[in-house]
Structure 1
């Protein structure tokens, strides 16, 4: 029998924790989606990928150009606009915003220049749901910074799931120009000899649209599709995203049999069969999460039971375009559940729960006191049980006298979880929150 000393076992555990987690390796691979490049899809369509937080596209017509989406920072948009002009110096006839998020609208003036005679198209309700219109704007801004890792050192960022980790801060949003043509359900227009069929869609936003160009058999889908599991709920805080409508819209998009598909983030796709397959499993995954969540709710499952039961089948979960680099199945489930029934999940225990302080005191007493709970926290950290450690640290921070010691352990748990995360927003949030706690200790 081979005997292994406890010291050797402990050393092995430390070595295992230092080794790069496979999820981090996968997340690093996702960064290939954001390599800066002007990609030519066909004779008329070019897509700029990786120059900022989103993609922007150029369609070249007979006597002019159509731009779809306009990046986030004016400085980045100017770089891309110059590259586009090297390809064609025809005048801009129209610019289309696929939705109101700043990373798709902030650099418009770089492409348009003089707006006279340029049609700027968006859907009715454009930008209404954004955080600048919210009564809780301060906390949304803080959570936004955590999700995207905006305050993290550059070396701590891998990427943001569907964008590069570091994007331009050169005059963010300063090039935005308001739309001068809006529509409700659909719009068919022609610019520079290019027919555009534009359709309203509720997906990642409730002001979204997608564009079909029959002559180029190209579909511009905005943020309703990208190379990652869709962000059915944003942890920065967002209004409910209509998950069922989103899934149905993807299936509708797939009826066009596109030869080229341009997402709002990540690289475009080419090839009818490949596009059909990717849109098909995307729509299937979204509707599976929605339908399974509703099924569990109608069975009387609690929120946590529903989260546990809704898991993608292997046929979807293992698809390369459904990896949880950006969105997360459990986050989507929670969003659907609370949208339809609100905060109360049906369990009477949750009608009038104990205060967080009283619950913490009871749990700590049950564990045998603060010192025993702290021992358990230290053990959880040592074993790499970081989620359990986080929960224990939250109890202790409610009442503990040694808050600095507990906070340091909580920071280690947050960083430990970040080192295992395939989901970029979650990873960025863990690291950002850990850094905030570290700063608080030094103040």
Structure 2
């Protein structure tokens, strides 16, 4: 994630104006208190879970070395990158859970607020609470080997400064990326300069660069918008707003980098010695990421589980959107880790949350996580084969007590309900088999029919208000969706649906679920946040790393098919920065309202010679063609009007499109 972590690749670089939802203008509406139903539901959590078990608090503070008294980090321009102080104002170890926060999520937020430098075991240290992820420092013979250097360069640099303050100055002698999500590599340039990066080993799983760039490119705008809901960056940080994501507190917002690996790991059992430290790798593809690897440190008897085991149930399908992950494969690789290293491991540590010590506890944690993914998979398939749909299975399935009462497999990030639906989707797709759902009406015309059949807007709102008073918030949110989509100007319906979302957010154990509900409530009351567009701080490294295929696939997605009908355009593009032996010249054609690319054309309308970064900058609106020519970055021949025509066919995606209300074009 973004955020808005893991998602913001190209989207905010467009500098687009915020999309406007249908409906009236809004004044800021304050959040509501918890209802009696919500207070009772949250109070009941204390009886349902083992709050007397405080082992996690002991583990999260074990090995503590030091921390700054305050943790607010700004970039060179003064822009805020990280602010833990806003959370510290109300989340403390002594504070009881407010009635607007699920006590289990509150407990996790208290744990995630235990920040600073910690020793994991001999030669292994972690800085926690400096981003949504941890940064790990392995003490080599001459310097530090860094594992997963956070999202931003500012935070990685701040973490290194903390380590230097307490443990002394040492050079960086290696970097290891466990997988290609930005919270595990984006800060690398904060700890090494170009010269150092060129001479040290930078290790990653095979396929790292491809997936670091490609996972969120062509669907990046939609993912980023949904990430705003998932992580709630526009929510106030207080007991009625954001209290953390469950996986960590939140994500840093500074400069992101991407230094390519120099060593690729592709085989389980492959060994490396870096700066005197032995490590053995276990490949775990298609688990938490398309490529990922665990690392065994035999001399320390320490097992690094990347993001495959943390202190929460993870996502089989993240709410921001992605391809469905393989729950069965995930369980299989956890079992393999136990079989390969379980007899020797004395500590398990990872890229989020805190370690677990002792062989019995370490192996038990891996077994519990193996079994939670296997149980969800097997029982979803069991019920699916009995004819139940994903929605039904999500409502029916419960974890066995051994897993349900285990803190580290609770749904603080992923949840049982949305993971079950994802597993069903992986096998069966979106269609539930009922022909009534094969070719539904779109949301707006369907909503108008629902409202008509149910006696009109006023009648629905009146009955929904009675259901709200009974605490039937799920139903209230569902039924009022039809009123809002039929008539987004119905302020009473919007406010009541917002109230229902808000109470569901207050009751949610999952950080993302809480954020999703509260962000929805905020947008129903106040409208879509109006934030200025800006340049992507992550751009240069990302643009350099994009392959021609990635660039052209992204352009093809931006092509407006309706406007391209009847058009025929041919372009030749030659890149000046391709590696020797790689294809450098390409032909692009627009025909049949489709953009295709391949070998150069014999008679193109225009020819461009430039590097990949320049083309990307032009296509993203970061640079004009005239600016590129003036700077000597582009050689252009042929018909200028053909290229201008081509550019006019490319859509720019508004980063803030409506979600809980219809789009303007649907309101007529």
- Using the size of structure 1 for normalisation, the TM-score is 0.90
1:191-233 CA-to-partner distances (Å, cap 9, x unmatched) read: 1221111122131111111110100011111111111112221
Match of 2:496 in 1: 409
Match of 2:645 in 1: none
The answer to whether the Cα contact below 8 Å between 1:197 and 1:213 also exists between their aligned partners in 2 is: yes
1:395-430 CA-to-partner distances (Å, cap 9, x unmatched) read: 212334862211111111111111111110010111
The Cα shift of 1:363 comes to 3.8
CA distance in structure 2 between the aligned counterparts of 1:37 and 1:133, rounded to whole angstroms: 31
The Cα shift of 1:18 comes to 5.6
**Mapping of residues 66-215 of structure 1, within 5 Å:** 66-86=145-165, 87-113=167-193, 114-126=196-208, 128-129=210-211, 133-155=216-238, 156-165=241-250, 167-169=251-253, 171-174=254-257, 176-186=258-268, 187-202=270-285, 203-215=287-299
The Cα shift of 1:163 comes to 0.4
1:284 aligns with 2:366: no
Match of 2:108 in 1: 30
CA distance in structure 1 between the aligned counterparts of 2:314 and 2:488, rounded to whole angstroms: 43
The Cα shift of 1:132 comes to 6.5
- Cα pair distance change 1:54/1:388, threshold 3 Å: same
Higher helix proportion: 1
Match of 1:8 in 2: none
The farther-off stretch of 266-275 and 365-374 is 365-374
- Cα pair distance change 1:140/1:71, threshold 3 Å: same
Structure 1 residues without counterparts, runs of 5 or longer: 1-12
CA distance in structure 1 between the aligned counterparts of 2:366 and 2:375, rounded to whole angstroms: 14
CA distance in structure 2 between the aligned counterparts of 1:434 and 1:293, rounded to whole angstroms: 31
The answer to whether the Cα contact below 8 Å between 1:119 and 1:181 also exists between their aligned partners in 2 is: yes
1:328 aligns with 2:415: yes
- Aligned length in residues: 428
The answer to whether the Cα contact below 8 Å between 1:386 and 1:413 also exists between their aligned partners in 2 is: yes
CA distance in structure 1 between the aligned counterparts of 2:210 and 2:275, rounded to whole angstroms: 31
CA distance in structure 1 between the aligned counterparts of 2:332 and 2:508, rounded to whole angstroms: 30
The farther-off stretch of 417-426 and 335-344 is 335-344
Match of 2:122 in 1: 43
**Mapping of residues 381-396 of structure 1, within 5 Å:** 381-396=468-483
CA distance in structure 2 between the aligned counterparts of 1:242 and 1:91, rounded to whole angstroms: 39
CA distance in structure 2 between the aligned counterparts of 1:200 and 1:112, rounded to whole angstroms: 26
The answer to whether the Cα contact below 8 Å between 1:20 and 1:419 also exists between their aligned partners in 2 is: no
**Mapping of residues 163-312 of structure 1, within 5 Å:** 163-165=248-250, 167-169=251-253, 171-174=254-257, 176-186=258-268, 187-202=270-285, 203-255=287-339, 256-257=341-342, 258-312=345-399
Q: Secondary structure at the match of 1:219?
A: strand
Q: C-alpha root-mean-square deviation of aligned residues, in Å?
A: 2.3
| Structure with bigger gyration radius | 2
The answer to whether the Cα contact below 8 Å between 1:407 and 1:437 also exists between their aligned partners in 2 is: yes
Structure 2 residues without counterparts, runs of 5 or longer: 1-33, 46-101, 531-668
The Cα shift of 1:366 comes to 4.4
The farther-off stretch of 393-402 and 126-135 is 126-135
1:22-44 CA-to-partner distances (Å, cap 9, x unmatched) read: 46222111123321121112221
CA distance in structure 2 between the aligned counterparts of 1:401 and 1:193, rounded to whole angstroms: 64
